[in-house]
């Protein structure tokens, strides 16, 4: 019974443990010029477009147009074929 109580206390402590909030100097050191943290900065073009969309830098229509151009460019550079479409009897 004592072991269960101790395990329960440890579990509750771990679940509700609060870490101290970051200080303003920590936030300033981890953020770039645009206020985006270096750890969460987008690493892909899609991520950069989403960030711009959420921050209001581009409109929804501009975002959709950029993604369609990106998809067309990707299809041109790396075309994908459907498995089995290269069989002679696939056209029938």
CB 35 within 8 A of CB 57: no
Q: What is the pLDDT of residue 9?
A: 84
The pLDDT score that the predictor gives to residue 87 is 66
What gap in Å lies between CA 61 and CA 76, rounded to an integer? 23
Tokens of 44: 């892909």
pTM as predicted: 0.46
pLDDT at 80: 80
CA distances from 15 to 2, 3, 68, 77, 85 (A): 20, 18, 44, 48, 53
Residues 6+ apart with CB under 8 A from 60: 53
pLDDT digits (tens, 9 = 90+) for 17-50: 765 554 555 555 555 555 555 567 778 888 888 8
Check residue 81 and give its pLDDT: 76
pLDDT tens figures, 46-72? 888 889 999 999 999 999 999 999 999
Q: Give residues with Cβ within 8 angstroms of 31, minimum separation 6.
A: 37, 38
> What is the predicted pLDDT for the residue at 65?
94
């Amino acid at each position: 019974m004592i072991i269960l109580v101790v395990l329960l206390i440890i579990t509750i402590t771990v679940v509700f443990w609060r870490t101290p909030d970051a200080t303003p100097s920590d936030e300033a050191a981890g953020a770039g010029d645009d206020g985006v943290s270096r750890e969460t900065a987008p690493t892909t073009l899609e991520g950069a477009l989403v960030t711009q969309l959420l921050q209001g830098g581009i409109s929804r229509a501009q975002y959709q147009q950029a993604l369609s151009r990106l998809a067309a460019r990707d299809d041109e550079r790396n075309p994908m074929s459907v498995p089995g479409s290269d069989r002679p009897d696939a056209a029938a």
